[in-house]
Chain A
């Protein structure tokens, strides 16, 4: 008989969470953990563990193969390059104090793609072996160069499956920009920091009304399927949660990615407190999610969600949900997606570009013209996994979690801190603690929201297994 290892973690509401290497989990009361460590499992325990695949008979070849399969399912399989984040210009028509990319001024020369860079990007697109493509236009403000976006999009016509995302501040709308937005496979992602006063203070100043008019205009023109927004929150002075949710709901926006200021770019100096988040932020986050749950229960006609909660929740239950490249394991760098900066430099992630721009460390891995199969890329990939981290190996949440080297470098200048001393770890420990609280909370309103976020047809009577 083989007993497959279980890792345990207290559930805040009481009892213990037990998770195996494939991420399959159950809850038990504290006495089970005592029986487990004393090697005094009852017949009921044994039958349960056998049924749940934690205890295998030696002759059970399917059980052994199924376990290996489930462990393997948790590992990212990065395919060929099919996702490019493009920065056609670093110039921007706004000047936000927390700008993570250290934007260039509106009239500064030398921060747009040259003809040669555009040609190199198009040549790369032609050479990709895949039948699907995802392109995200970042900046700067990419709508300052609709011509460059158009050139890229036109060149993607040959792909069977196309998706384009424009990350824009919606400060300016004109016919050229709308003509690009009209492309059916294109999605608009913008920022909305809360009510008009908050948004104006953080971002748009006197231009706030203009932005709100533009947001209203694109919502009217395209509807919520095509437009998403996310707030940047100053955690030292966060907006009222109800008002924040209202400002989204009023526009018909249902997904809210609640992010504290990113400790990148201008924020490194002007918002030093954003380096780490403490209990105040975590409380704020939980309050926000619980208010969404209450609203979803009260009004079944629409489903609000906090986007990162949904992503993490799906990773708990649905291995292979790896398309969110900020949370996956291993997290291959410069393989299935890349960032092409305004000067044609290639970075493995958007944060790597921001960090290089700040002059902290050069994390570029190559150029769009000459390629990026570099020693720099290999060096990062050797460490881009949580599999062999001694702290992660003991952590119940390892199968759901990820690895973000660039985040560690951004905050601490190194990647070898004990994992538990990093913001990445603390943030995700909190997130998964919170998620398992919700999973085991016996409240129909909670189960209703979780089931919607998990994209289920119905609402199961229980989401988590329990050892009675």
Chain B
């Protein structure tokens, strides 16, 4: 696993954003490597000195980090060269999904200003993920940040994961701003059956509220990536959901069917929630065929390629972020490895090994 939080000391009194540079020419917001030895590396910039323990400076070169005083260390917000940088803007959420990989907390620490600073100095042509918790609980701040960053940086894009519980007709005019063409909203829908969806997300009325958001997003010309996590409870409902997508949600850019992550709430409920898609792929195949038939692109996330029937393999994306991905020993010999998602770091090894058959 690639560590995202590093122990560090700083003399600064307030949190600040900086880019760590081990080599090369420095920008005003950069912190330059001043010394490095076996125990760590020290960088210096206009906001002060930051000393990191147990790291090689070269591995951090170009990372945009949040430095926090008081022994809270350094957060690597935008790692140089990574395609999977995600800003966690809040840990509060108003849904309680049965399989939540990032269980919500009651408290919120507002760090939008710092995130905005980080985005403004992001690497050229980056796609920056925004996640939570539920980012649109702070919709106004979120949209403000997006508007300012994308106006200043025409090369950047955002991908925002949201439960879609907070958009309404009042947002349409704002979201029609052309900068939002560079924002993709990743929104989960678990079933076409309202009661089942509500049960999965732990909120009565969530399905109906989501439909209102979808109407607003459609009329705003927003880009939506629809997401469905596979569960024992919705597996057999997938074909009906596919029809629902083809009828009511044609405007989505793509539909991602996602295999479960063994973390958060799903960890303790694993046997009850996890679907072994290798032994029952039919409902998934039927769903993929139906939306593709109607001209809507669909992808499989977190489905190792060897566990998917040949015909559907091109749809299985290398979806797992680099910092939390692993492969099994037999995977070393597989010709599809570079195209494969692998497994989540926290996926049970025994189960992973059982399903693997190198191609």
Interface string of A45-82 (1 = CB under 8 A from B): 00000011100000011111110011001000000000
Pairwise interchain contact B211-A62, C-beta atoms closer than 8 A: yes
Interface string of B219-255 (1 = CB under 8 A from A): 1000000000000000000000001000111110000
A317 proximal to B (CB < 8 A): yes
Interface string of B189-221 (1 = CB under 8 A from A): 000000000000000000000011011001100
Q: Which residue of B lies closest to A465 (CB)?
A: B243
Q: Name the one of A62, A65, A456 contacting B293, with C-beta atoms under 8 angstroms.
A: A456
Q: Name the one of B169, B250, B289 contacting A460, with C-beta atoms under 8 angstroms.
A: B289
The interface residues of chain B lying within 8 Å CB-to-CB of A319 are 295
State whether A320 and B295 are in contact (beta carbons under 8 Å apart), knowing that A62-B212, A66-B250 are contacts in the complex: yes
A438 proximal to B (CB < 8 A): no
Pairwise interchain contact A457-B289, C-beta atoms closer than 8 A: yes
State whether A66 and B294 are in contact (beta carbons under 8 Å apart), knowing that A458-B288, A460-B286 are contacts in the complex: no
Pairwise interchain contact A460-B290, C-beta atoms closer than 8 A: yes
A318 and B219 CA atoms in complex are apart in Å by 21
A460 and B212 CA atoms in complex are apart in Å by 31
Interface string of A429-468 (1 = CB under 8 A from B): 0000000000000000000000100111111110101000
- Bin chain B's interface residue count: 20 to 34
A120 proximal to B (CB < 8 A): no
State whether A457 and B248 are in contact (beta carbons under 8 Å apart), knowing that A62-B214, A318-B294 are contacts in the complex: no
The interface residues of chain B lying within 8 Å CB-to-CB of A321 are 295
Pairwise interchain contact B285-A63, C-beta atoms closer than 8 A: no
Pairwise interchain contact B215-A62, C-beta atoms closer than 8 A: yes
Pairwise interchain contact B295-A318, C-beta atoms closer than 8 A: yes
A268 proximal to B (CB < 8 A): no
A66 and B290 CA atoms in complex are apart in Å by 18
A24 proximal to B (CB < 8 A): yes
B311 proximal to A (CB < 8 A): yes
A447 and B81 CA atoms in complex are apart in Å by 46
The interface residues of chain A lying within 8 Å CB-to-CB of B211 are 60-62
The interface residues of chain A lying within 8 Å CB-to-CB of B295 are 317-321
Interface string of B116-148 (1 = CB under 8 A from A): 000000000000000000000000000000000
A73 and B218 CA atoms in complex are apart in Å by 13
The interface residues of chain A lying within 8 Å CB-to-CB of B289 are 451, 456-460
A318 and B290 CA atoms in complex are apart in Å by 11
Enumerate B249-294 residues with CB–CB distance to A below 8 Å. Answer: 249-251, 285-286, 288-290, 292-294
A51 and B192 CA atoms in complex are apart in Å by 10
Q: Which residue of B lies closest to A461 (CB)?
A: B286
Q: What is the CB-to-nearest-CB distance from B338 to chain A, in angstroms, rounded to a whole number?
A: 21
Pairwise interchain contact A70-B218, C-beta atoms closer than 8 A: no
Interface string of B293-305 (1 = CB under 8 A from A): 1110000000000
Q: What is the CB-to-nearest-CB distance from A445 to chain B, in angstroms, rounded to a whole number?
A: 17
A127 and B243 CA atoms in complex are apart in Å by 44
A319 and B294 CA atoms in complex are apart in Å by 8
Q: Name the one of B218, B285, B292, B311 contacting A62, with C-beta atoms under 8 angstroms.
A: B218
Q: Which residue of B lies closest to A460 (CB)?
A: B289
Interface string of A106-145 (1 = CB under 8 A from B): 0000000000000000000000000000000000000000
Q: Name the one of B214, B247, B251, B285 contacting A458, with C-beta atoms under 8 angstroms.
A: B285
Q: Which residue of B lies closest to A60 (CB)?
A: B211
State whether A458 and B215 are in contact (beta carbons under 8 Å apart), knowing that A66-B248, A317-B294 are contacts in the complex: no
B315 proximal to A (CB < 8 A): yes
Q: What is the CB-to-nearest-CB distance from A301 to chain B, in angstroms, rounded to a whole number?
A: 14
State whether A460 and B293 are in contact (beta carbons under 8 Å apart), knowing that A52-B247, A53-B248, A65-B219 are contacts in the complex: yes
The interface residues of chain B lying within 8 Å CB-to-CB of A461 are 286
Pairwise interchain contact A66-B293, C-beta atoms closer than 8 A: no
Q: Which residue of B lies closest to A24 (CB)?
A: B247
B323 proximal to A (CB < 8 A): no
B346 proximal to A (CB < 8 A): no
A51 and B286 CA atoms in complex are apart in Å by 18
Q: Which residue of B lies closest to A320 (CB)?
A: B295
The interface residues of chain A lying within 8 Å CB-to-CB of B72 are none
A63 and B212 CA atoms in complex are apart in Å by 10
The interface residues of chain B lying within 8 Å CB-to-CB of A320 are 295
Q: Which residue of A lies closest to B296 (CB)?
A: A318
The interface residues of chain B lying within 8 Å CB-to-CB of A456 are 289, 292-293
The interface residues of chain A lying within 8 Å CB-to-CB of B294 are 317-318
A317 and B288 CA atoms in complex are apart in Å by 15
A288 and B133 CA atoms in complex are apart in Å by 59
Q: Name the one of A69, A70, A458, A465 contacting B312, with C-beta atoms under 8 angstroms.
A: A458
State whether A458 and B218 are in contact (beta carbons under 8 Å apart), knowing that A24-B247, A66-B247, A66-B251 are contacts in the complex: no
Q: Which residue of A lies closest to B298 (CB)?
A: A457
State whether A454 and B293 are in contact (beta carbons under 8 Å apart), knowing that A24-B247, A62-B248, A69-B251 are contacts in the complex: yes
The interface residues of chain B lying within 8 Å CB-to-CB of A73 are 250
Pairwise interchain contact A66-B218, C-beta atoms closer than 8 A: yes
Q: What is the CB-to-nearest-CB distance from B246 to chain A, in angstroms, rounded to a whole number?
A: 8
Q: What is the CB-to-nearest-CB distance from A27 to chain B, in angstroms, rounded to a whole number?
A: 15
Pairwise interchain contact A69-B290, C-beta atoms closer than 8 A: no
State whether A457 and B250 are in contact (beta carbons under 8 Å apart), knowing that A66-B218, A317-B295 are contacts in the complex: no
A440 and B83 CA atoms in complex are apart in Å by 45
The interface residues of chain B lying within 8 Å CB-to-CB of A455 are 292
Which residues of A are in contact with B by a Cβ distance under 8 Å? 24, 51-53, 60-66, 69-70, 73, 317-321, 451, 454-461, 463, 465
Which residues of B are in contact with A by a Cβ distance under 8 Å? 169, 211-212, 214-215, 218-219, 243, 247-251, 285-286, 288-290, 292-295, 311-312, 314-315
**9 closest residue pairs by CB, A with B:** A318-B295, A62-B215, A61-B215, A457-B311, A53-B247, A460-B289, A62-B211, A458-B289, A65-B218
5 contacts between A and B (CB under 8 A): A60-B211, A61-B211, A66-B218, A66-B248, A461-B286
A-B contacts besides A66-B249, A317-B293, A460-B290, 15 pairs, CB < 8 Å? A24-B247, A51-B247, A52-B247, A53-B248, A62-B211, A62-B248, A65-B219, A66-B247, A69-B218, A456-B289, A456-B292, A456-B293, A457-B285, A457-B289, A458-B312
